[in-house]
């Protein structure tokens, strides 16, 4: 699909609406100013992910990435039963080893794009987040869950292993011994346990999850997009390098925030006891 992404004069919201209509497996919409939502939409099979779904997700991420109006991205699944019940097992059943490697690599590239976006990404887990679904949530900056959510990496039960980052992101999040237990047993983790383990940020009653996600997103739209982008890049990069290097990176990023306009606006607003407001990233330059 060709997308007219380079032209900054485009009405991005209309472009998104026009292109989003063409997706079969994803719903992409602007919920309110600055807040966009990707919804994985294959409810009959609990939003399981096949190759086409990942391709559409990539196109969505192109649209999000090139749209200066996006301040926060929400990710969720259609229906009230599942966020995503994993990679599509019927699709995977016919894959050769080589095709499976390609599918895993493509899934990993796609999910890594969530941490490369400049804006915060919030996973709203409304039900089963299994296998690729748990991995999708782990790729987001925040995970909020309903009290009916259920997380697992059950690939071992299919005699395979996590292929969209679970074996690595779960370890980084929970530590090796717990992650290895979860990947080897494939056991279910309900919301209350997920909260205790630090797998999710917050748990809400199922009927207030969407509003809680929106409220979190609204709060983030009032922060400096410049600071949020710098925080996101620094913290993701810092996670994978030695502490002394990460601290150097922190000082450099700290300096970068001082070079931008937003900190002047924010510090003056503090001194004036007023409310600062910030423009979108591309519009500040
Ligand atoms: N792939 C394909 N279809 C799936 C699916 C999946 N991951 N998960 C559910 N479905 C389909 C079911 O086959 C069923 O389809 P039919 O109505 O045509 O029979 C439909 O969704 C509803 O599912 P169930 O009838 O099974 O619903 P349930 O309430 O009894 O159980 C469930 C729900 C516990 C989530 C169960 O469906 C299940 O265990 N799903 C598979 C979960 C799984 O193993 N995920 C990991 C996949 S491997 C992976 O993700 C690899 C990777 O890292 C990339």
Q: Give yes or no for residue 141 CB within 6 A of ligand 1.
A: no
Element (H, E) at 107: helix 97-116
Question: What CATH number should be reported for the domain holding residue 244?
Answer: 1.10.12.10
Quick check: helix, strand or coil at residue 139? coil
CB atoms within 10 A of CB 126: 25
Kindly state whether residues 108 and 229 are assigned to the same domain.
no
Kindly state whether residues 238 and 210 are assigned to the same domain.
no
Residue 29 among the catalytic residues: no
The pTM is what? 0.94
Q: Which residues of the chain have pLDDT under 70?
A: 1-20, 282-285
Write down the pLDDT at residue 280.
Answer: 81
CB 160 within 8 A of CB 152: no
Write down the pLDDT at residue 221.
Answer: 97
The residue whose CA is least distant from atom 10 of ligand 1 is 45
Question: Is 4 among the domain residues?
Answer: no
Of 1, 34, 91, nearest to 280 by C-alpha is 34
Write down the pLDDT at residue 3.
Answer: 41
Write down the pLDDT at residue 20.
Answer: 67
Write down the pLDDT at residue 34.
Answer: 96
Kindly state whether residues 184 and 216 are assigned to the same domain.
yes
Sheet holding 202-204, edge to edge: 26-32, 35-40, 72-77, 121-125, 142-146, 202-204
Write down the pLDDT at residue 279.
Answer: 87
Q: Give yes or no for residue 130 CB within 6 A of ligand 1.
A: yes
Write down the pLDDT at residue 15.
Answer: 62
Question: Is 281 among the domain residues?
Answer: no
Of 127, 18, 51, nearest to 82 by C-alpha is 127
């Amino acid at each position: 699909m060709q997308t007219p992404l380079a032209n900054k004069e485009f009405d991005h919201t209309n472009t998104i609406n026009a292109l989003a209509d063409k997706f079969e497996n994803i719903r992409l919409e602007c919920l309110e100013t600055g807040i966009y939502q990707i919804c994985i939409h294959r409810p009959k099979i609990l939003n399981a992910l096949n190759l086409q779904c990942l391709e559409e997700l990539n196109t969505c991420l192109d649209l999000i990435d090139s749209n200066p109006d996006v301040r926060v991205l929400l990710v969720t699944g259609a229906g009230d039963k599942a966020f995503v019940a994993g990679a599509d097992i019927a699709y995977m059943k016919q894959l050769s080893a080589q095709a499976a490697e390609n599918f895993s690599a493509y899934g990993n590239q796609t999910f890594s794009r969530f941490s490369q976006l400049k804006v915060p990404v919030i996973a709203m887990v409304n039900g089963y987040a299994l296998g690729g679904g748990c991995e999708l949530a782990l790729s987001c900056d925040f995970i909020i869950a309903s009290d009916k959510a259920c997380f697992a990496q059950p690939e071992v039960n299919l005699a395979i292993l996590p292929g969209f980052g679970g074996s690595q992101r779960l370890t980084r999040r929970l530590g090796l011994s717990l992650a290895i237990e979860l990947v080897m047993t494939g056991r279910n983790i309900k919301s209350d346990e997920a909260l205790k383990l630090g797998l999710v940020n917050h748990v809400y009653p199922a009927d207030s999850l969407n509003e809680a996600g929106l409220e979190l997103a609204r709060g983030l739209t009032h922060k400096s997009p410049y600071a949020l982008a710098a925080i996101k890049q620094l913290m993701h990069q810092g996670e994978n390098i030695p502490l002394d290097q990460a601290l150097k990176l922190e000082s450099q990023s700290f300096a970068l925030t001082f070079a931008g306009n937003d900190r002047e606006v924010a510090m003056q607003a503090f001194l004036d006891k007023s409310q600062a407001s910030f423009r979108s990233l591309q519009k500040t330059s």
